[in-house]
């Protein structure tokens, strides 16, 4: 990911500014503010602003008037309790705002999480940049035979080379046609008033989904954790997972006590159905149970055995 000299200068100027505040801040996150962390080939993620820390969660839970004099381990205990018992509203007291640059096809998957405030780059008003996502060779994979949403074996050799050529050539060609339809001076986003072209809101429809878009995305901590529990999971699509993994690092710098509880109870924990829990209790009692005896479907049984790290068949 290469920022333009203008973009780099703007970010540098932002990072040089400081403002006094009476609000509690997260020092580790302050060091990250405005910095662009590269993601994929042209994408990035930046923290633009945030509100609240672990102390704000504790304060909201206790409805206290200030930070208080309790020890860190007491705050950690309360946050663990809130996370463990799914008392979610105190976590909604913290918010964070990101600036994200991402491929359009990932943005369309991302926007399914409807619990954030979003403002996206306008292709009606501005000219889209000539930047498109091309997967690294190790990310080129065939369709999974067992999962309609997943990937199978990695493509290799001539087959992989052909796919990369198609992606590059198609993306390059559509931008050439985009420029032609606009009939504008693309360099510097400067419009030559003597030229007449197709409206930007129409010309953009020809661009492929691997072109990059940008948005500001503001979300509270509770909904962010829900997003991360799905998108930072190993089963999530790689191209959105790498953004989520960087966000997990940011959450750790922002609210370390909450991050620890989240990793313990949400990411590292497991939820069991009443039938699954009954089976575990029977197993602890020494009973040997097969899938046919369990009352679970094959899929449910397979998931339970994976959670317990046991073979599917005795």
Catalogue the active-site residues: 231
Instruction: Determine the Cα–Cα distance for residues 265 and 314; give it in Å rounded to an integer.
Output: 29
| Coil, strand or helix at 68 | coil
Structure token digits, residue 231: 């998108």
Contact assessment for residue 258 and residue 251, using Cβ atoms and an 8 Å cutoff: yes
Instruction: Find the helix or strand (DSSP H, E) in which 220 lies.
Output: strand 212-220
Instruction: Determine the Cα–Cα distance for residues 238 and 150; give it in Å rounded to an integer.
Output: 10
Instruction: Determine the Cα–Cα distance for residues 84 and 81; give it in Å rounded to an integer.
Output: 5
Contact assessment for residue 288 and residue 314, using Cβ atoms and an 8 Å cutoff: yes
Instruction: Determine the Cα–Cα distance for residues 160 and 134; give it in Å rounded to an integer.
Output: 12
Question: What's the farthest any 2 CA atoms get from each other in the chain?
Answer: 84
Q: Write the CB contacts of 202 (distance below 8 Å, at least 6 apart in sequence).
A: 181
Backbone φ, ψ for residue 68 (5° rounding)? 85, 180
């Amino acid at each position: 990911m290469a920022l333009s000299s203008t973009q780099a200068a703007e970010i540098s100027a932002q990072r040089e500014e400081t403002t006094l505040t009476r609000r509690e801040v997260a020092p580790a996150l302050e060091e990250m503010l405005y910095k662009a962390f590269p993601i994929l080939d042209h994408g990035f993620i930046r923290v633009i602003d945030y509100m609240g820390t672990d102390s704000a969660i504790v304060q909201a839970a206790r409805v206290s008037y200030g930070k208080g004099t309790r020890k860190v381990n007491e705050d950690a205990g309360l946050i663990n309790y809130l996370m463990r018992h799914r008392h979610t509203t105190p976590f909604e007291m913290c918010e964070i705002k990101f600036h994200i640059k991402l491929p359009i096809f990932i943005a369309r998957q991302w926007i399914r999480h409807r619990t954030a405030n979003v403002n996206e780059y306008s292709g009606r008003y501005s000219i889209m940049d000539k930047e498109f996502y091309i997967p690294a060779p190790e990310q080129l994979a065939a369709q999974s035979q067992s999962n309609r949403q997943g990937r199978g074996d990695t493509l290799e050799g001539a087959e992989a080379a052909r796919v990369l050529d198609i992606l590059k050539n198609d993306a390059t060609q559509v931008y050439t046609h985009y420029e032609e339809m606009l009939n504008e001076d693309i360099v510097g986003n400067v419009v030559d008033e003597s030229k007449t072209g197709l409206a930007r809101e129409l010309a953009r429809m020809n661009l492929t989904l691997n072109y990059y878009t940008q948005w500001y995305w503001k979300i509270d901590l509770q909904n962010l954790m829900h997003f991360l529990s799905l998108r930072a999971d190993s089963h999530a699509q790689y191209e959105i997972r790498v953004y989520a993994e960087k966000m997990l690092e940011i959450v750790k710098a922002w609210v370390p006590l909450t991050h620890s509880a989240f990793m313990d109870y949400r990411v590292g924990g497991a939820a069991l159905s009443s039938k699954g829990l009954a089976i575990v209790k029977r197993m602890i009692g020494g009973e040997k149970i097969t899938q046919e005896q369990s009352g679970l479907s094959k899929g449910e049984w397979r998931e339970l055995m994976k959670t317990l790290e046991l073979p599917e068949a005795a």
